[in-house]
Structure 1
Amino acid sequence: MDSTTFLFIIEMIGTAAAAISGIRLAANKSFDWFGAYTVGLVTAIGGGTLRDVLLDIPLFWMQSAWYLAVTAMSLATVIMLRRQLVRSDRILFIFDSIGLALFCVIGIQKTIAAGYPMWGAAVMGVITGAFGGVLRDILINEAPLIFSKDIYATACLAGALVYWLVMLLGGGYVCQGLACAATVILLRVLALRYNLALPSLSAIPVNNNK
């Protein structure tokens, strides 16, 4: 499998997973079909759009109708399996984590292919993975998950480090991508299982007795 085919496959899987997570949340807010499709599409392409703008390369979704079509198929899937997909928070977690992990891989690989160093690719991996979710949460009027205590962007950074390590060890692009994605998903699962979170930054209480 060449790198172009591998990247296309994980993009389509990531697009479907991210779109379903967005559409599922839109269904919780009783959006109509068009509104749910819009939220799903923004979730799927938001991070990659910002990445391509920052890298000054053509927008990926303007070059192929697959992203719009996969989002439409994701909407149809949620409509047909509404009872199973909408009511379970675990389903949202699964699709959100898969989309986050695969988009992180895509962001890293596309940034490296554009000639940027690994540290820049790590940043773009986080942006590609997480920014679509930020836009999704804003559209449905929720606090963005990335800014809460949940292990989200941190998982992408860890995945990027594993990607770099596998690269240094001479692993191929498939091994690099799979190791990165597995790390992101594993950290998300462990965070949920053991209630792991980053410390919150809160204001220091003022002592009025002084």
Structure 2
Amino acid sequence: MLLIQILDYAGVAVFAATGALAASRKQLDIIGFLFLASATATGGGTVRDLILGVPVFWIGNTDYIWICLAVTLMVYFSAHRVESRYKLLLWLDAVGLAAFSVMGAQKGLTITGSAPVAMITGMLTAAFGGVLRDLLASEPSVLLSREIYVTAALAGAATYTIIEIAGAPMNLSAVAGFIVAFAVRGGALKFHWRLPVYKSRPGRPPKDIP
């Protein structure tokens, strides 16, 4: 099995786990667990495939569905043993983000041959599942947190794409992209890395606008 395929399966598994952990925090039933886990694991890839105009990945390969089911059951029966489920969720999310940033970039580059498209599909694949999970679970959105998130996905996708276009072996490109994305997101979690934020001036009252 190619490393890129392993990263794809791993990304689905860990994102499914984060969705199931979010369901455990909301004390949902088993169907709620499965729905949230599956939506988190497949959301980004589904949007990516629809944009690229290719068959949706989990429809053509039901292994992804079985992975979601297995992970859901595992978390359903074991989540209560984890002392800090939210902290585990964040670190698993970082692993999934790193894996999907590479997988999304690889698919975008293979289908279109365009580096910018590959970076965007990598970023979208990696970030959308976590955003969807937080939206459905009414958790604080990782997208709106001030810690670096989408930037980590873009860094991983860009690293993979640049090294791949340079002619390096795919495994090297994939490992490098994964390491960069995880290092950036992990650093943000550990050291609270942030990008400069927009500092606006107060808006003018409508009556003062000519």
Query: Same fold judged by TM-score > 0.5?
Result: yes
Counterpart for residue 93 of structure 1: 90
Does 1:197 pair with 2:194?
yes
Counterpart AA for 2:99: L
2:155 to 147, 151, 158: 158
Counterpart for residue 16 of structure 2: 19
Does 1:48 pair with 2:45?
yes
Between the aligned partners of 1:54 and 1:194, the Cα distance in structure 2 is: 35
Counterpart for residue 35 of structure 1: 32
Between the aligned partners of 1:86 and 1:121, the Cα distance in structure 2 is: 38
Give 5+ residue unaligned stretches, structure 1.
none
Q: Which moved more, 1:107-116 or 1:41-50?
A: 107-116
Percentage of pairs with the same residue: 32
Alignment of 1:129-144 (within 5 A): 129-144=126-141
Q: Which moved more, 1:189-198 or 1:127-136?
A: 189-198
Counterpart for residue 184 of structure 1: 181
Counterpart for residue 57 of structure 1: 54
2:144 to 139, 144, 147: 147
- Provide closer, same or farther for how the CA distance between residues 203 and 30 of structure 1 changes in structure 2, counting only shifts above 3 A: farther
Q: What's the CA shift for 1:169?
A: 4.2
- Provide closer, same or farther for how the CA distance between residues 142 and 94 of structure 1 changes in structure 2, counting only shifts above 3 A: closer
Counterpart for residue 67 of structure 2: 70
Q: How many residues are matched?
A: 206
Between the aligned partners of 1:76 and 1:86, the Cα distance in structure 2 is: 19
Between the aligned partners of 2:131 and 2:23, the Cα distance in structure 1 is: 14
| TM-score, with length taken from structure 2 | 0.89
Counterpart AA for 1:6: L
Q: What's the CA shift for 1:9?
A: 1.7
Residue deviations 1:79-121 (CA, integer Å, cap 9, x gap): 2322334733331122101111111111111111102311110
Q: Give 3-state SS (helix, strand or coil) of 2:143's partner.
A: helix
Counterpart AA for 1:111: G
